[in-house]
Amino acid sequence: MSEDRRTFLQRAAAAGLLATPAAGLLSACVGGGDDDTQDQAEGEKSETNPLGVDAKAPLEVVIFNGGLGTKYATDVHIPSYKKSFPEAEVKFSQAEEIATVLQPRFTSEQPPDMVNNAGSKLMDQGALVQAGQVQDLTDLFNAPSLDIAGKTVKDTLVPGTVEQGTFNGKPYVLNYAFTTFGLWYSDKLFKDNSWTVPKTWTEFTALLDSMKAKGVTPYAYAGANASYYQYLVILTTAAKIGGADVLKNIDNLEDGAWQVDAVKQAAQLWGEIGNKYMLKSHLGLRHTEVQLQQNQYRVGLYPSGSWLENEQAKDTPAGFNYAVMPLPSATASDKLPQTAIYAAAGEMYFVAAKGKNPRGGMEYLRHMLSKEGAKGFTELTKVLTVVQGATEGLTISPGLTSSEAMLKAAGSDYFAYRWDTWYKKMDDECRAATNELMFSGGDANKFVARMQKVADEVKKDPSIEKFKR
């Protein structure tokens, strides 16, 4: 067993990526030697089969069952794949805790072929890439589109999509859902109370005061599993204050990136919101429990991505009408306008490099990235994809309409970060630090110091591969 692989296993075990103790993994690895690759299915390449898929080879797909559900896979993408390869058996399963279900299989190098790595218990994507467990998707992106003539798959995508899933120059992950983030609310509740969307921080706190006076919890998120929604909000405000390079510097583990004034000021502002306008009881709730309270008109504003409307479809009363607003400007001297938003290709899908059918896994992604595949996804989930023009002719929901309007108003002023998928240790720490800030009266100085400490630890750890953008 190589030293690189031994180092990864030790790191992964420590990070919780692998279910069994490091010692057990290392001894198991000795028996297998270095050549772990099993026989992999391969067919002849052709104009209709550019990736060389074995038409009869089984394909295994695992999809996270969360806000987007799984019907898009069972009702759209799997039938599309089967239409091209009718003799191939497609084995489908879903999971709410991806890491719990798939850790043992990646440890034993018997993974499924295509994985939707998402949710609060997702696998450490950076560690998987470092271990050689993730297929390079260059051939997929260079292949012709399934149903958009004259274009490669890459040509059909929203700019930045390939880069969002790139690790040190190679594309390993498809971020499929083009997600916009903001503060979600009921258009009906706003109209009934003559509330308007705030543009400044003063207007924002005045709105929260009005909600509080009406007996509505002004602002809420679920501390049990959704604190990453809130740290996204904090960092969005930081980017508005100091510019998008604030986030790029955090991604690149630049010295002192977490302790710049923009991050500290954003943490201070949001810590005050938590202290004055949130319920402490929400610390122990899950996201769907808090979201249900919003559907009952008990919560005014909820930070989330554009999957929210679909996730709450069964609990949303008629006339509620989801809508979303960008975060208000924090100061009069913000570097980015009030309309600027966090928006990015998200929801990770990857092919297992050591699976039995990586070519089939990439072909499955090609079907997802067809115009029809993307259109079907949006119809079922109310969420945009990274495929350009795929919503043409669709009647879209109130929340998606609002989300598209917010994106249009942002123009080129949208941004994202990637450290949370690169370095799971930082993501875990930020969730805990955010809950402390928002629910326990934590202060901004402690928040940024805590995050700088873990960022420095990651930077200095030679066993963790570093990524840059």
Summarised one tens digit per residue, pLDDT across range 107-126 is 999 999 999 999 889 999 99
Measured between alpha carbons, how far is 378 from 385 in angstroms, rounded to an integer? 7
Within a domain: residue 412?
no
Is 160 in the same domain as 58?
Answer: yes
For the cut 80, the answer to whether the pLDDT of residue 11 exceeds it is no
Mean pLDDT of 141-149: 96
Segments forming the whole domain that contains residue 19: 3-25+37-178+345-396
Residue bearing the bigger pLDDT, 9 or 83: 83
Q: Do both 187 and 154 map to the same domain? A: no
Confidence of residue 17 (pLDDT cuts 50, 70, 90): very low
Mean pLDDT, residues 342-363 taken together: 95
Distance between CA atoms of 306 and 265, rounded to whole angstroms? 26
In a domain, 443, yes or no: yes
85 and 226 share a domain?
no
Residue 32 forms part of a structural domain: no
Residues 377-408 have pLDDT tens digits of 999 998 899 999 898 888 889 999 999 999 99
- Are residue 185 and residue 208 in the same domain, yes or no? yes
Q: Is residue 404 part of a domain?
A: no
Pair (301, 441) in one structural domain: yes
Residue 328 lies in a domain: yes
In the block, which residue shows the tokens 């997600």? Answer: 179
CB atoms within 10 A of CB 237: 26
Domain count, the chain: 2
The answer to whether residue 66 sits within a structural domain is yes
User: Tell me, what's the pLDDT at 345?
Assistant: 86
Residue 216 shares a structural domain with residue 86: no
Query: Could you tell me the CATH number of the domain that includes residue 56?
Result: 3.40.190.10
Are residues 122 and 253 located together in one domain of the fold? no
Task: Please indicate, yes or no, whether residues 349 and 335 belong to a single structural domain of this protein.
Answer: no
Lowest-confidence region among 27-36, 352-361, 374-383:
27-36
- Both 335 and 350 in one domain: the answer is no
Percent of the chain with pLDDT over 70: 92
- Rg of the chain over all Cα atoms, to the nearest angstrom: 22
Can you tell me whether residue 202 is helix, strand or coil?
helix
Residue 87: CA count within 13 A, CB half-sphere? 5
356 near 57, Cβ under 8 Å? yes
Q: What's the pLDDT tens digit per position in 405-427?
A: 999 999 999 999 999 989 999 99
Whether 112 is in a domain gets the answer yes
Residue 468 belongs to a domain? no
Res. 28: pLDDT tops 70: no
Assess whether 48 and 157 both reside in one domain: yes
Q: What is the mean pLDDT of residues 206-221?
A: 98
Note whether 332 and 231 are same-domain residues: yes
Q: Tokens for 180, please give them.
A: 């916009």
Region 252-263: mean pLDDT is: 98
Confidence of residue 447 (pLDDT cuts 50, 70, 90): very high
Residues 248 and 187 in one domain: yes
